[in-house]
Chains A and B, each alone.
Chain A
Amino acid sequence: MNEPSSVPLSEQEMIRMEKVHKWYGTFHVLKDINLTVRKGERIVVCGPSGSGKSTAIRCINRLEEFQRGRIVVDGQELSSDVKQVEQIRREVGMVFQHFNLFPHLTVLENCTLAPTWVRKLPRRQAEDIAMRYLERVKIPEQAGKYPGQLSGGQQQRVAIARSLCMNPKIMLFDEPTSALDPEMIKEVLETMVTLAEDGMTMICVTHEMGFAKTVAHRVIFMDGGEIIEENEPEEFFTHPQSDRTKLFLSQILHN
Chain B
Amino acid sequence: MAETPLSRAEPPPASTIGAFGWLHRNLFSSPFNIALTVLASYLLYLTIPPLLHWALLDATWSGDSREACQANGGACWVFIRVNFEQFMYGFYPEAQRWRVNTALLLLILGAAPLFVRAMPNKLKVRWGLGLLLIYPLVAFVLFKGGLFGLRIVDTSRWGGLLLTLIIAGVGMTAALPLGVLLALGRRSQMPAIQALCTIFIELWRGVPLITVLFMSSVMLPLFLPAGVNFDKLLRALIGVTLFQSAYMAEVVRGGLQAIPKGQFEAAAALGLGYWKTMALIVLPQALKLVIPGIVNTFIALFKDTSLVLIIGLFDLMNIVHNATTNPAWLGFSTEGYAFAAAVYWLFCFSMSRYSQNLEKRLYTGHKR
Enumerate chain A interface residues (CB-CB to B < 8 A): 61, 63, 82, 86-87, 89-90, 92-94, 96, 98, 100-104, 113-114, 117-118, 146-149, 162-163, 166
* Closest chain B residue to A116, Cβ basis: B280
A117-B276 in contact (CB<8A): yes
- The complex places the Cα of A13 from the Cα of B356 at a distance, in Å, of 55
Task: Give CA–CA (A92, B265) in the complex, Å.
Answer: 13
CB neighbours (8 Å) of A103 from chain B are 285, 364, 366, 368
Q: How far is the CA of A149 from the CA of B288 in the complex (A)?
A: 19
Are B366 and A89 closer than 8 Å at their CB atoms? no
A114 touches B272 (CB 8 A): yes
- Cβ of B12 < 8 Å from any Cβ of A? no
- A–B complex contacts, Cβ < 8 Å, 5 sampled: A63-B269, A113-B280, A117-B280, A146-B365, A148-B364
> Would you call A104 and B273 a contact (CB within 8 A)?
no
Report the minimal beta-carbon distance from A101 to chain B, rounded to whole angstroms: 7
> Is A104 in contact with B366, judged by CB distance below 8 angstroms?
yes
Using Cβ atoms and an 8 Å threshold, which residues of chain B touch A61?
Answer: 268-269
Which one of B266, B273, B288, B366 contacts A100 once the chains associate, using CB atoms below 8 Å?
A: B266
How long is the Cα–Cα vector from A103 to B282 in the complex, in angstroms? 11
The reply to whether A89 and B281 contact each other, CB–CB distance below 8 Å, is no
Could you say which residues of chain A place their CB within 8 Å of the CB of B367? 148
Number of interface residues of B (CB under 8 A): 24
Partner of B265, one of A96, A149, A166: A96
- Residues 346 to 368 of chain B near chain A (Cβ within 8 Å): 362, 364-368
- B268:A63 contact, CB within 8 angstroms: yes
Which B residues touch A162, using CB under 8 A? Answer: 270
B271 within 8 A of A: yes
Q: Are B366 and A96 in contact (CB under 8 A)?
A: no
Q: Assess A118 versus B263: contact at CB under 8 Å? Given A103-B364, A146-B366, A148-B367.
A: no
Chain B residues, Cβ within 8 Å of A89: 268-271
A118 touches B270 (CB 8 A): yes
Do residues A149 and B262 form an inter-chain contact, with CB atoms below 8 A?
Answer: no
A101 touches B266 (CB 8 A): yes
Closest 4 A/B residue pairs (Cβ): A148-B366, A103-B366, A100-B266, A114-B270
Whether a CB of chain A sits under 8 angstroms from the CB of B63 is: no
By beta carbon, the residue of chain B nearest A145 is: B365
Task: Please encode chain B, from 255 to 275, with 1 for each CB lying within 8 Å of some chain A CB and 0 for all others.
Answer: 000001011011111111100
User: Within 8 Å of chain A (Cβ to Cβ): is B312?
Assistant: no
Write out the residue numbers on chain B whose beta carbons fall within 8 Å of the beta carbon of A82: 273
Q: Using A96-B262, A117-B276, A117-B280 as known contacts, say yes or no to A104 and B364 having CB atoms under 8 A apart.
A: yes
Once the chains bind, are A100 and B265 in contact (CB under 8 Å)?
A: yes
Q: A63-B269, A104-B285 given. 8 additional CB < 8 A pairs?
A: A63-B268, A86-B271, A94-B269, A96-B266, A100-B266, A104-B366, A118-B270, A118-B272
B284 is an interface residue with CB less than 8 A from chain A: yes
CB-nearest residue of chain A relative to B281? Answer: A102
Chain A's closest residue to B368 (CB) is A103
A98-B366 in contact (CB<8A): no
**Neighbouring A residues of B281 by C-beta, 8 Å:** 102
How many Å from the CB of A119 to the closest CB on chain B?
Answer: 8
Closest Cβ neighbor of A119 among chain B residues: B271
The distance in angstroms between the C-alpha atoms of A186 and B267, with both chains bound, is 27
Closest to A118 in B: B271
In Å, the complex CA distance between A63 and B262 comes to 11
Within the complex, the shortest CB–CB distance from B289 to chain A, in Å, comes to 10
* Complex CA distance for A83 and B271, rounded to whole angstroms: 9
Q: A63-B265, A98-B262, A104-B288 are in contact. Are A148 and B365 (CB under 8 A)?
A: yes
Of the listed residues B265, B270, B276, B285, the one surrounded by the most CB atoms of chain A closer than 10 A to its CB is B270
Q: Which A residues lie within 8 Å of B276 (CB)?
A: 117-118
Interchain CB contact under 8 A, B272 and A102 = no
Quote the shortest CB–CB distance from B365 to chain A (angstroms): 5
Specify the chain B residue showing the minimal Cβ separation from A101. Answer: B266
Check A114 against B271 for contact (C-beta < 8 Å). Answer: yes
1/0 contact string of B283-301 vs chain A (CB within 8 Å): 0110010000000000000
CB distance A166 to B366 under 8 Å? no
Give Cα distance in the complex from A59 to B262, angstroms. Answer: 16
A100, B263: Cβ atoms under 8 Å?
yes
For A61, A87, A98, A100, which residue has the most chain B Cβ atoms within 10 angstroms?
A: A100
Between A82, A101, A117, the greatest number of chain B beta carbons within 10 A of the residue's beta carbon is seen for A117
In the bound complex, CA of A101 to CA of B272 (Å): 14
| B269 near A92: Cβ-Cβ < 8 Å | yes
- Asked if residues B285 and A93 are in contact (CB atoms below 8 Å), the reply is no
Whole-angstrom distance between the alpha carbons of A163 and B281 in the complex?
16
Q: How distant is A66 from chain B, measured CB to nearest CB, in Å?
A: 16
Task: Name the residue in A93, A103, A166 with the highest tally of chain B Cβ atoms < 10 Å from its Cβ.
Answer: A103
How many Å from the CB of A120 to the closest CB on chain B? Answer: 11
Q: Kindly state the separation between the CA atoms of A61 and B276 in the bound complex, as whole angstroms.
A: 18
Complex Cα–Cα for A212 and B236 (A) = 68
Query: B213-248: which have CB < 8 Å to A?
Result: none
Residues of chain B contacted by A87 (CB below 8 angstroms): 271
Give the CA-CA distance A61 to B362 in the complex, in Å. Answer: 33
Q: Which of B273, B364, B368 contacts A86 (CB 8 A)?
A: B273
